Amino acid sequence: MASPGIDTEQEPLLGDRTPGSREWDIIETEEHYKSRWISIRILYLTMFFSSVGFSIVIMSIWPYLQKIDQTADASFLGWVIASFSLGQMVASPVFGLWSNYRPRKEPLIVSIFISVMANCLYAYVHVPASHNKYYMLVARGLVGFGAGNVAVVRSYIAGATSLQERISSMANTSACQALGFILGPASTDEVQFPQGNIDQVAVLATNVLFFVVLFIFALFETIVTPLTMDMYAWTREQAVLYDGIILAALGVEAILIFMGVKLLSKKIGERAILLGGLIVVWVGFFILLPWGNQFPKIQWEELHNNSIPNTTFGEIIITLWKSPREDRNEGPTGCPIEQAWCFYTPMIHLAQFLIAAMLIGVGYPSCNVTSYTLYSKVLGPKPQGVYMGWLTASGSAARILGPVFISQVYTSWGPRWAFSLVCGIVVLTIMLLGVVYRRLVPFSVRHGRIQE
C-alpha cells in the first residue's frame, strides 16, 4: 500500500472537480468554477502568445545582430539574449508583489504595454547610424521586463491548482465557513489559511533545480544557431530556417511529453520524473561531445579555394556578376578562423546533433513541468505571488547566465569544453536532487493534513 505522500504526489493537481463531488459542494458553485477556468484559459493563451513571440525572435537574433552591426560577435550575442532574462528577473518579484496587494489585471496591463513598446523598438534598431547592437541590447532588456508578468500568471494558476489542498485542510469545517472562504473578503490578510511553516530547504532546493533546468535549455537554444553555422557551413538564412524547424519539432515533442508526464506522474510521482529527465538531458549533452577525425569547414579555406591565380580583373568581375546576389550578401560560411578551436576540434555530425536535440527535447519539458509542480505543492495553499516571483527570477537568472556562459566558453574553447562543463553541472544537479529527494513533498503531507 502506497504511503500518503506518494498518493498525494500522484493526485491530479485540481482534484475531482466534477459536479456533485464533495469538494464541489463544499467550495464553489458551478458558476464560480466556470468563471475561474475561463480566467485560467485566458492566462494560458497569454503565456502561449508570449512563448511564440520569444521563439520567433530567438532563432533570428544572431543573423539580425550580424546584419545591423558588423562589430558584434558571438560573445555579444550571449549578452543580448541574457538582457531579456535580466529584465524579467528584475520585473518578476515586483509584479508578483504587486499582484498580492492589487488586482492582477493592473500588473498584467502595464507589462503588456511595456512589451509592445519594447518590441517596436526592437523592430527599428537598424535605423540608427551607429551603436545598433546596444540599441538591440536595450530593446531585448525591456521586452524581458514586460515578460516579468509570468510571475502573476503562475501565481494565479498555482493558486487554482492548490485548491485541492485547501479542500483537504477544510474538510472538517462547515459548509458556511467554506463558502465564506470563497466569497468573503478579497484581502489575503483576512483569509484563514492552514497554519504551518513552509519547508524553506525544499523551496530553496526547488529554486536551484528550476534554475539549472532553465540554464541548460537557455544555453542550448542560444548556441544552436552559431553551432550549426560553424559545423555545417550553413548561411544565415539556412540557419534560421533549419534551426527553426528543429525547435518547432522539439515544441511538438514537448507537447507530447507534457501529456505523457501527466499520466506517468500518477504512477511514479513528479520526483522520479524529474530525476529521469535530468538523466536524459545528461545523455543528450554527452552525445553532443565532438569525436572522430573529421573537422569543420574553415571560412578562410572557402575564400582560398574560390580564388583563382593569374586571373585578370575582368575575369574576376564576370565571376562575381554570375554569382547569385544572396551568396555575396551572406558572406563566408563555416567555422571562423578567429576561433582557434576550429582547427583541432572534430565536428559534431548532423545525426549526432539531431539525436542530442531530441533527447534534450525529452528531458527539458519533463524537468520543467515537474519542478514547477513540486514547487507549487511544497508551498501549499498560501498566497504564492512573491514565491512565484522568486521562482521566475531564478529562471530569469538562468537565462542570463546560460547564454553568457555558453557564448564565452564556446567562442574561446569550443563545443568540447562547453558541453563537458554542462554534463558536469547536470551531474551535480542530480546529486542535489538525491539529497533533498525526501523533502520534496506537498505542504499538506508534511504537516499531516491528509487524513485518508
381 lies in the same domain as 274: yes
C-alpha to C-alpha distance for 429 and 232, rounded to whole angstroms: 32
Amino acid present at 77 = L
When pLDDT is cut at 50, 70 and 90, the band that residue 289 belongs to is very high
C-alpha to C-alpha distance for 434 and 163, rounded to whole angstroms: 29
164 lies in the same domain as 222: no
Of 254, 263, 271, give the one whose Cα is nearest residue 377. Answer: 271
Grid coordinates belonging to 332: 563566408
Number of helical H runs and strand E runs in the chain:
19, 0
C-alpha to C-alpha distance for 81 and 333, rounded to whole angstroms: 23
Cα separations (Å) of 251 from 147, 248, 274, 406? 20, 5, 19, 22
Amino acid present at 52 = V
Cα separations (Å) of 150 from 20, 48, 155, 256, 400? 34, 11, 8, 23, 16
Which range (87-91, 384-388, 436-440) has the least confidence? 384-388
238 lies in the same domain as 343: yes
362 lies in the same domain as 414: yes
Q: Is residue 2 part of a domain?
A: no
174 lies in the same domain as 280: no
- Report residue 181 CA to chain centroid gap: 35
Of 147, 171, 172, 122, give the one whose Cα is nearest residue 46. Answer: 147
Apex CA 218: angle with CA 353 and CA 421, to 5°? 65
C-alpha to C-alpha distance for 57 and 34, rounded to whole angstroms: 35
Mean confidence (pLDDT) of the chain: 76
C-alpha to C-alpha distance for 219 and 9, rounded to whole angstroms: 31
Q: For 49-65, what is the mean pLDDT?
A: 79
Residue 121 predicted with pLDDT over 60: yes
- Number of domains observed in the structure of the chain: 2
Grid coordinates belonging to 135: 540599441
Q: Is residue 309 part of a domain?
A: no
Residue 265 predicted with pLDDT over 60: yes
- Domain range for residue 158? 30-187
Mark out the alpha helices in 295-414 (DSSP H runs): 299-306, 313-322, 325-330, 350-379, 385-413
Q: Which residues of 310-327 are buried (b: 16+ CB within 10 A; e: fewer)?
A: eeeeeeeeeeeeeeeeee
Which range (184-198, 341-355, 402-416, 419-433) has the least confidence? 184-198
Q: Is residue 194 part of a domain?
A: no
Which range (209-218, 350-359, 368-377, 411-420) has the least confidence? 368-377
Q: Is residue 52 part of a domain?
A: yes
User: CATH number of the domain that 182 lies in?
Assistant: 1.20.1250.20
C-alpha to C-alpha distance for 356 and 352, rounded to whole angstroms: 6
129 lies in the same domain as 271: no
Q: Using one digit for the tens of pLDDT, what is the confidence trace for 128-176? A: 888 889 999 999 999 888 888 777 776 667 555 444 444 333 333 333 3
Highest mean predicted confidence (pLDDT) among 48-52, 147-151, 211-215: 211-215
Q: For 223-232, what is the mean pLDDT?
A: 89
When pLDDT is cut at 50, 70 and 90, the band that residue 300 belongs to is low
389 lies in the same domain as 264: yes
Residue of higher predicted confidence among 153 and 336: 336
**What pLDDT, on the 0 to 100 scale, is given for residue 310?**
45
Mark out the alpha helices in 233-349 (DSSP H runs): 236-268, 270-287, 299-306, 313-322, 325-330
Q: Is residue 312 part of a domain?
A: no
124 lies in the same domain as 268: no
Which range (23-37, 117-131, 218-232) has the least confidence? 23-37
What percent of the chain has pLDDT above 90? 23
Grid coordinates belonging to 195: 497554519
When pLDDT is cut at 50, 70 and 90, the band that residue 55 belongs to is confident
When pLDDT is cut at 50, 70 and 90, the band that residue 251 belongs to is confident
**What pLDDT, on the 0 to 100 scale, is given for residue 207?**
92
Residue 306 predicted with pLDDT over 60: no
C-alpha to C-alpha distance for 101 and 106, rounded to whole angstroms: 11
Q: For 184-190, what is the mean pLDDT?
A: 38
Residue 36 predicted with pLDDT over 50: yes
Residue of higher predicted confidence among 275 and 42: 275
Which range (19-33, 255-269, 309-323, 387-401) has the least confidence? 309-323
Of 432, 430, 5, give the one whose Cα is nearest residue 201. Answer: 432
Grid coordinates belonging to 101: 496587494
Contact partners, residue 69, CB within 8 Å, separation at least 6:
131, 132, 133, 136
**What pLDDT, on the 0 to 100 scale, is given for residue 420?**
95
Cα separations (Å) of 138 from 141, 382, 403? 5, 36, 16
205 lies in the same domain as 164: no
393 lies in the same domain as 289: yes
Q: Is residue 11 part of a domain?
A: no
Q: Is residue 115 part of a domain?
A: yes
**What pLDDT, on the 0 to 100 scale, is given for residue 5?**
47
Which range (17-21, 48-52, 320-324) has the least confidence? 320-324
